[in-house]
Amino acid sequence: MAEDPRPITDLLRRLGQGDREGLDELVGLLYTTLRRMCRSHLGRLPAGLLTPTALLHELYLDLADRFPDLPNRQKFFAYAHRAIEHLAVSSLRKSKAKKRGGDQRQVSLEGVDLPDLRDGPEIVMVFEVLARVEEQDPELAEIVKLRVFDRLSERATAEELGISRKTVQKQWIAARSLLVHLLGADRRT
């Protein structure tokens, strides 16, 4: 039996109105799902940054600080996904800056298979460039995230985004090309 979306929708409405109790109830209701999302994001990054629980607490603070207007469950989870990703990468940046005095290694994707960049020190730069790609073309950025970080196949990516496999193939080629271009530009500056 499917979960009744009404309580979540009501809680989201209350959250949008700045109701902290609504936020507490919402996070309590979705705690397990949100913690699983946090664990999934952290699984893509080097070990030891944060625990899923700590990342979830950071998400809670982000929601409490912003009280975003998220009219439905889908918008909420899209927001949570982006916020968790941002918080995890920010933690990684801080960790790298402390370890290396703020220096970040520049990397080119020429001749590099993108999925291999999930674990290396280049991940910070990849996320920074991916943020710029997202500004230019959010669909391309989403395809990169699903293919590289979630390791979805072309077919699974197409199903996730509700587009054809052929479109994913074309967009994947364009996304890789744009990433190589942007990373190359960063290396020259």
Is 80 exceeded by the pLDDT of residue 74? yes
| pLDDT digits 0-9 by tens, 24-60 | 888 888 889 999 998 888 877 776 677 888 888 888 8
Domain count, the chain: 2
Residue 40: CB atoms within 10 Å: 14
145 with 121, same domain: the answer is yes
91, 110: one domain: no
Same domain, yes or no, for 77 and 117? no
* Boundary of a domain, candidates 71, 97, 123: 97
Same domain, 70 and 127: no
Is residue 165's pLDDT more than 80? Answer: yes
CA distance 162 to 122: 30
Range of the domain at 38: 5-97
pLDDT by residue (tens digit) across 109-153?
444 444 444 455 566 777 777 787 888 788 888 888 888 777 788
Residue 49 sits in the same domain as residue 124: no
| Domain closes at, from 51, 71, 97 | 97
Token code pair at residue 105:
């290694």
- The residue out of 76, 97, 118 marking a domain boundary is 97
CATH number at residue 57: 1.10.1740
Percent of the chain with pLDDT over 90: 2
pLDDT at 98 over 70: no
| 113 and 179 inside one domain | yes
| Pair (50, 111) in one structural domain | no
With CA atoms as reference, report the closest residue to 186 among 100, 123, 120, 108.
108
